[in-house]
Amino acid sequence: MNVLGEIKKSLWNGRMAHAYILEAPAGETRDRLMTNILQEILCRNPNLEQRPCGLCEACRRVAAGSHEDVIYMKKSKLEEGKTKTNKVTYVMRDTEPFMDRLRLNPYGERNIGVIPDADDLKEDVQNKILKTLEEPYPGTVFFLVAENRNNLLPTIQSRCVLLRETEEPDVAETSALEEIWNQNYFFQYRKMVDKKIKTADDALKFLDVIEREAHKEHRLETVLRIEETRKDILGEFHMGGMNWKYALKRLFLEVRE
């Protein structure tokens, strides 16, 4: 998935989601991608195709970490008894200033709440922010930035759109996976799924390939159904999830039949 391209299309179509998970390895590349996403959303260049321009005041403030409509959730230093340590993580009290600021009207068009290293969120803290994800403040967009989305509660994941940069599989692998999806009849598709997709990871890789093609062909409804199927499969790792084979077969019936 081209993450920045997806954000751009969502903005153009007026279909920004209220919450996203940006899944990528921690480091400068992820930080730069998050900065580019924020610039894409907040850029003031009147030419949409040239956004983010990196030159307008909004882009410069995002790059400097000083844009008034970008609100970061900050961590606290842990205390062990009376001794303060250098370890920092998210605790319950960190949610209050974050949420309080997001309740205020933005200076521009929208507030953007960013939770860096969302993998570090403890279960009680995730539950604390869950209600806000369920009933977001008007004009607010959330980004939970994580290395592994499965460190987040299924209830959190189900309320967010997943964004992640994926490596292109090799040509032979892509062709084999596309062949499965391009079967004309369900019984043929079902047989190939049973034969060639052996694990949940294989199923997720298969979804990556067919979602990439759907993006290229601008079939948004198909993309949304694929993302729903991805959430169903990921839920299998937790209570109440759906068997990945059943999820893939249901997807074909809903989209292709």
Taking only the tens place, the pLDDT of each residue in 31-86 is 999 999 999 999 999 887 788 899 999 999 999 999 999 999 999 877 655 455 56
Cα–Cα distance for residue pair 208/227, rounded to 1 Å: 10
pLDDT value for 59: 95
Token pair 């060639």: residue: 196
pLDDT value for 238: 45
pLDDT value for 84: 55
pLDDT in tens, 198-212: 988 789 889 988 988
pLDDT value for 211: 86
> In this structure, is the dihedral angle defined by the CA atoms of residues 173, 177, 183 and 188, taken in order, positive or negative?
positive
Phi, psi for residue 233 in degrees, rounded to 5: -70, -45
Domain 1-165 has CATH 3.40.50.300: yes
Confidence of residue 239 (pLDDT cuts 50, 70, 90): very low
Q: Which residue has the higher pLDDT, 86 or 136?
A: 136
Q: pTM to 2 decimals?
A: 0.67
Cα–Cα distance for residue pair 36/68, rounded to 1 Å: 16
